[in-house]
Amino acid sequence: MRKLRKKLTSLFYPNRCFICDKILPHPETVCESCKAKLIDYERISGAVCDVCGLKLQECNCRPGRLYEKAVFPLLFEDDVRASLHRFKFRGRLDKAAPFADAMLRALEARDVLAETEILTFIPMSLKAQRRRGYNQAQILCEELHKRTGLPMLPLLYKHGKNTAQHDAPNYLLRTGNTIGIYEPTPEYVNEIEGKRILLVDDILTSGATLNEAAKTLLIFGADQVYVAAAAATPKRKKRKSSSTN
């Protein structure tokens, strides 16, 4: 019943800016002031980070990342944060399509789409997914799949917290290490080798989650791993009082 109500709500929701939720005339999806929040990679000039494409002074990439590039159209702050919160926790699945459109433009601008052979996404544990009713990363990935025609496979799964290591499938034990948070889905373990894979998540924070998942794909032979998210945490501005420079 709750699911049905959710579905109906999204069907009859008035047209809104996907970022600030302001009501807009059809068929617009973003208001003028939010349009300015979309990162225009074509216009970024000077020295940029190879991984995130932002200016070096704005780059928030952590050392030790295993993915080749990280692509995101927005910074996770203010209205963007609130919007992704609605998408992720409050069933506002109407936001998936416009976020995916924005991701697609960023992926094109950063030349990642032409490189990609398979789309996949950060999985949730079955228990968590059952509780929420959906996986927002999977939904974004499905929207990208629809728009690009690139194959999409659930390459990874996530263990529940209490899964014992002795339950791990044999192919993991063969690699002799790192039974991490994410493991290849047994049915698709042979699809990873030699592939250039785009890994989709909703938010790129420290990159630790995406790095863990990228690590699994690379252990199983992925040629290249790119990551895409709807938004990334911006570099924290130093507060004047705590600045030591």
**Footprint of Zn ion (CB under 5 A):** 17, 19-20, 31, 34, 49, 51-52, 59, 61
Half-sphere exposure of 199 (CA within 13 A, CB side): 33
Measured from the CB atom, the residue of 5 and 238 that comes closer to Zn ion is: 238
Q: Which is nearer to Zn ion, 98 or 123 (CB)?
A: 98
Contacts of 181 (CB under 8 A, 6+ apart): 158, 159, 209, 212, 213
Q: Are residues 225 and 66 in contact, defined by beta-carbon separation less than 8 angstroms?
A: yes
Q: Is the Cβ of residue 11 or residue 47 nearer to Zn ion in the bound state? A: 47
DSSP 8-state assignment for residue 96: H
CB 228 within 8 A of CB 72: yes
| Min CB(41)–Zn ion separation in Å | 12
- Of residues 28 and 117, the one with the C-beta less far from Zn ion: 28
Q: In the complex, what is the shortest distance from the CB of residue 150 to Zn ion, in angstroms, rounded to a whole number?
A: 24
- Nearer CB in complex with Zn ion: 17/100: 17
Do 123 and 130 contact (CB within 8 A), yes or no?
no
C-alpha dist (Å) from residue 102 to 86, 137, 181, 197:
17, 15, 29, 19
Residue 224 pairs in a beta bridge with 196
Quote the tokens at residue 238: 């130093």
Q: How far is the CB of 39 from Zn ion (least distance, A)?
A: 12
Query: Rounded distance, CA 19 to CA 29, Å?
Result: 9
Instruction: Output the smallest distance, CB 91 to Zn ion, in A.
Output: 20
For residues 52 and 41, the answer to whether their CB atoms sit within 8 Å is: no
Residue whose CB is less far from Zn ion, 57 or 162: 57
Residue 74 CB, nearest distance to Zn ion (Å)? 12
- Min dist. Cβ of residue 47 to Zn ion (A): 11
